[in-house]
Copies of this chain bind each other. A is one copy, B any other.
């Protein structure tokens, strides 16, 4: 499995939750945790990262909460993943190339770029608005 951390998992769940409501829909971390049945401290952690990534806005103090910084159609899945996990790449050698001691001799080194490009392009093109469209067909499942 191409793994993402659970933090990212939760992040996408939460962003989808926002996207399913009207624009400007705001909610506290506690309420979000309750509605999505996710552990509350985790939710707070995720919301903070998404805030720092510019995907959410926050209102502090009583009656405060979080809301989407942009419209769902303007938020790509790639942006969410990048906010929570950093650059979308399958191996670290492509993001911090100089760190790999095998760079000089690695036969795959130049090729990872192609793989990463494919992934980036694919996730860049998919927005929250796409995700919350109701119709999901069963024969739309992956071949694997």
A residues contacting B by CB (< 8 A) are 1-5, 8-9, 12-13, 16-17, 20, 35-38, 77-78, 81-82, 85-92, 95, 101-102, 105-108, 110-126, 130-132, 136, 140-144
Q: Whole-angstrom distance from the CB of A88 to the nearest CB of chain B?
A: 5
Could you jot down 20 A-B contacts, CB within 8 Å? A1-B85, A1-B89, A2-B81, A3-B4, A3-B90, A8-B90, A9-B91, A13-B107, A16-B107, A17-B107, A35-B105, A88-B142, A108-B131, A111-B131, A113-B141, A116-B142, A117-B141, A118-B123, A118-B126, A119-B122
Considering only CB atoms, which chain B residue lies closest to A110 in the complex? B136
Contact yes or no, A89 B13, CB < 8 A = no
Cα distance A66–B116 in the bound complex, in angstroms: 27
Contact yes or no, A95 B36, CB < 8 A = no
